Amino acid sequence: MALFSSLTPVFIAIICVLIGVILKKTNGEKEKRETKSKPLSRPWVDEDLKDGTDHHLEEEDVDEEWQGLDENVAHVPFFAERYSEGEMIKRSQMFYELLNKRRSVRFLSDEPVPREVIDNVIRTAGTSPSGAHTEPWTFVVVQDPYLKHKIREIVEEEEEINYKKRMGDRWVNDLKRLRTNWIKEYLDTAPYLILIFKQVYGWLPNGKKKTHYYNEISVSIACGILLAALQNAGLYTVTSTPLNCGPQLRVLLQRPANEKLLLLLPVGYPKKEATVPALTRKPLEDIMVVM
């Protein structure tokens, strides 16, 4: 009894420590599960693109101060060109027919394309709206063959790992019908590569960070306008998202840390032997609901 009584505190201590350890471990596992479950959800999201995770660390120290944007912008009358109803219908129909000819083309020739056209399509992309008019985009146009080849090396190396390991069987299978793989010849042959960076924040004249509201949506909208401009000019591309290549390409192209690669567009003419998968688009009634 004396022995038992003197051991009691030791037992209780051991039990309590065990309970403590178990509680701590349960929490730890819960955290791990939470962290682990995220990549599962959006396997296609580049770590470098997730400004919800990497960016908040940088932004937390931003003071809630004025951005210093000029409040006293004059508001001026706006006069818009008016077309007749018949003309509107005709114009909208013709524009649909033009854009409906667009296809993602993975076989691009090395034929040169006038630089002036590239300047114009990027000027056009720059007319896009953006959150609080922050214009958070940088279009890097690569025409240098050495740089294009370097980009190809980086992309192919990462893409091979993506296809073999990161993407998972389902995704790889979903891409089979498009016959995509990690070999990207167009990165060498296309006369231009346009790499589109989103600026996740900017800088104010006073040196403080400037918030770029909705920067990913804004830059994606600008890319939609860029695609329309390319199609209008008779140029072709394939919209690609080089998973996990962002940081390496950013460093190669000497872009600052506030810029994250969103899309890579090889631009040129289709090769004579170019093919496309015989896909169709959803009809209007499957994408539009009128109420």
- Using CB under 8 A, which residues numbered 107 to 166 contact a copy of itself? 107, 113-114, 116-117, 119-129, 131-133, 135, 137-144, 147
Looking at the Cβ atoms of 126 and 247, the one nearer to a copy of itself is 126
Q: Three-state SS across 97-138?
A: HHHHCCCECCCECCCCCCHHHHHHHHHHHCCCCCHHHCCCEE
Classify residue 181 as left (phi > 0), alpha (psi -120 to 50) or beta: beta
What single letter denotes the amino acid at residue 106? R
Of 221, 59, 195, nearest to 124 (Cα)?
A: 221
Find out whether 138 and 197 touch, Cβ atoms under 8 Å.
yes
The count of chain residues that interact with a copy of itself, using the rule CB under 8 A, is 149
Cβ 156 to a copy of itself shortest distance, Å? 20
Q: Which stretch binds a copy of itself (CB under 8 A): 30-38, 155-163, 182-190?
A: 30-38
Distance CA 186, CA 267 (A): 9
Cβ 240 to a copy of itself shortest distance, Å? 10
Cβ 275 to a copy of itself shortest distance, Å? 4
Q: Which stretch binds a copy of itself (CB under 8 A): 154-162, 182-190, 281-289?
A: 281-289
Residues 44-63 interacting with a copy of itself (rule: CB under 8 A): 44-45, 50-52, 55-57, 59-60
Find out whether 236 and 268 touch, Cβ atoms under 8 Å.
yes
Of 45, 100, 95, 133, nearest to 280 (Cα)?
A: 100
Q: Which stretch binds a copy of itself (CB under 8 A): 26-34, 157-165, 183-191?
A: 26-34
Cβ 107 to a copy of itself shortest distance, Å? 8
Residue from 153, 164, 168, 181 in contact with a copy of itself (CB under 8 A): 168
Residue from 32, 91, 149, 164 in contact with a copy of itself (CB under 8 A): 91
Binding mask 214-253 for a copy of itself (x = CB under 8 A): x-xx--xxxxxxxxxx--xxxxx-xx-x-----------x
The total of other beta-carbon atoms located within 10 Å of residue 92's CB is 11
Distance CA 130, CA 127 (A): 9
Residues 184-203 interacting with a copy of itself (rule: CB under 8 A): none
Find out whether 167 and 259 touch, Cβ atoms under 8 Å.
no
